[in-house]
Structure formats: C-alpha cells, structure tokens
Structure 1
Amino acid sequence: MTMKLTDTQTLILNTAIQSSDGLLSWFPDNLKGGARDKVLGSLLRQGLIQIDGKTHRVTDLAYETLGLAVPTASIEPIKAAPRTRGNTKQAQIIAMLQRPEGATISQIVEATGWQPHTVRGTFAGAFKKKLGLTLISSKDDHGQRVYRIDHTD
C-alpha cells in the first residue's frame, strides 16, 4: 500500500520510530496549534499513528509505509525495577518475617522502635498492598501471635 506523505509527516514519523518508545514527542518548530492538529489528524485517519493515553504512538502501518521492518516485540514502556535498600527498617522487618520462627509484633517493635499499631499498619499497607507479600500468622506456645511470610506462592 503506497501512501503519499508530506515531508513534515515523514519527518515526524521517522523521529518517533527512531525513539525507543515510538511516541510522537518531537515536532518541527514551525508546526504549532492548528497546523499541528491537522498533521496529527491526517496521520490518525491514515492509521499511521494511534492515541496512547495523552500522546500518540506510531503503528505498524507507519513502519510499512516508510519501508521499515516492523519491530518484532511490541513497544512497551520499560518499567524500572523497584528500588530496594538493605539498611531500612522495612528490610529489617522482612528479614525477621522470613526466618523459620517468624516474628511477633513485640519483637518487631523492639527492633524498630515503632508502635504496635504502626507495625500492623505496615503489614497491611506496605507488605500486603504495595509489595504483594502474603503474611501468615499463628499462635506460639506462649499464646503470642507469630507472623511469617508465606513462601508457598
């Protein structure tokens, strides 16, 4: 399929294709306001770009139109791995919960200096919701509740 593209359209598509994410993030300095909207509208109607959230992304048809090979992997934004530090109270608590014997609230309070309600809140908020950890609890021989990270997942 042969499409007639303007020099501006070709330049915009080539720039987007050369970026790692395929997003249209650069436009010529002389392309502002209504002119920019018309160029984007034309590219959308031709199926060369698609709306991706609040921005535009090139389609496979744009690669084909420009005579380029379509990338084999879909273009997805790279998600950074969560940053973890080993010297935090959170890391200290996780290490305590990973021990075979687990940890009680009072042991964690003693190790961190936190109040018991803060420890319980951390279990529900940071560990369960944010980190996706599954905690299991049981009572020990002395009647204290012992918490552990469930490794059966």
Structure 2
Amino acid sequence: MSWTVYLSGEIHTDWREQIIEGCKAKNLPISFTSAVTNHDASDAAGDGLGEESSNFWRDHKSAKVNAIRTKTQIEKCDLAIVRFGDKYKQWNAAFDAGFCAALGKPYITLHSADIIHPLKEVDAAALAWAQTPQQVIEVLEYVVSAQ
C-alpha cells in the first residue's frame, strides 16, 4: 500500500524536507502533499480575482483560494502531520488539525514541549505527538511497514 501524508503548518524551517528525505532514505511507500509554503504566493492567492480595498478582503479571498488546495489534499490524505513552530502562531495549522479531527482523519502533531498548554485540545485529538522530525519518521516507518 502506498500512503499519502499531508504536511501542514509552519513554513520557516526545513522540517518538511527532513521528513521527506528521511522517509525516502528508508524507502517508505509514502507520497507527500502540502499547503503552499511560499508565504508571498499564499498571501496573493486571490489577487487574480481582482483588487480589494482592504487587507481583510484580500486575505479573505486568498484564504478561500488556498482552501481549495488544503481541503482537497486533507480529504485525500491517509495521515497528516501538523507542525507548530515556536516563532509564529500557526492558526492555519490549528484549523487543519480541527478539519482532520472533524473528518476522522488521523494526524500527528509536531511541536516542542513549551507549547503543550496552548495546543492541549489539538494534541488531545491527535493520535501522536512528536517533538522532532526524526520521531515523525519513526512513527511513519512503523505505521507503513509493521507486519
């Protein structure tokens, strides 16, 4: 069986690449999908639909265009990894985790111990919590390879 894993959340570090490369090195049967990780492109996703008079409406329109991709990829994935970084608050990642929970889609959270409290509800619905990309790779290896 080939698995599809959706990578959600923080875009300012290389955690996605670490997981993808680590799984590739183990020859795991996983394909990865992700939200747009180019911040400027994501912010401008709705700009082709016309100029807006305020940032609220620009963001609103771009969020909806981005949701086409995000919603579709989460619905199609077998499992999601939801990363919360320390530097920025990833409200979109929390929303993705909630969407996964509502769909009954399994997800793993990836974040440091110092933000356990603000993520308690998100972690409560997750099937695992990892603190490093290497831990995620180990869980993925078990899930897709265990016999």
Q: TM-score, normalised by structure 2?
A: 0.22
Q: TM-score, normalised by structure 1?
A: 0.22
Greater C-alpha radius of gyration: 1
Higher RCO (C-alpha 8 Å, min separation 6) = 2
Tell me which protein shows more helix as a share of its residues. 2
